[in-house]
Amino acid sequence: MSNKENLITALKNINIASYALTAPTLALSIGLLLRMLISSDRGKFCRLIIILILMIISWIASMTGNQLAYNFAIEYYDGEQQISDFAKQGLEACFFVTTTTFNLAHWFFAFSYFDLSHRFGLIAQGLPEHTHNLRLNTTFIIGCLFNLAPSAVFWAYNIRGLDNKGSKITLLVE
């Protein structure tokens, strides 16, 4: 078996594993999201709804990115040696959306627990719950920016370098 056959087989296996592991989780999450949206107490679930929506977007983008990578590898090795920059940008966009939404969902989850524990601490001290809202909101926004920045820089670097050596190195590593 040649290197290109090994690569295509590996990408096919990754694609199959992506569907096998992500599709059931995606279906359960969509069902849970619909259940929460139908519920009359959906105001209580606002943070959880946002986290679920971000994770659903991440899983869909991940499956799409793996499928695109597999399709592009087949096209590339079947004689069409040039894949358009638009196709590469689509693949980079899928990976950007995957990492960004995943990171934001986990940041939102962690911050929600931090916020809750902080409010319990204020209640235990006899202070009003909204004592440090400005600090908490600022921390939340800075955390979101820290979660977005690395993915955005990586995406911009890869998009900018599609026609130079950087893209060739990235494609060789992939």
Q: What is the mean pLDDT of residues 52-69?
A: 91
Query: Is 129 or 9 the better-scoring residue by pLDDT?
Result: 9
Q: Where are the alpha helices (DSSP H) in the chain?
A: 3-38, 46-77, 85-125, 133-160, 165-173
Query: Residues 110-142: pLDDT tens digits?
Result: 998 888 888 888 888 888 877 778 888 888 899
For 92, 117, 150, 159, the CA distances from 111, given in Å and listed in that order, are 28, 10, 19, 31
Q: Residue 68: CA atoms inside 13 Å, Cβ hemisphere, count?
A: 18
How much is the pLDDT for 165?
A: 44
Q: Is the dihedral of CA 88, 94, 98, 104 positive or negative?
A: positive
Instruction: Give the domain ranges of the chain.
Output: 3-173
So what's the pLDDT on residue 54?
A: 94
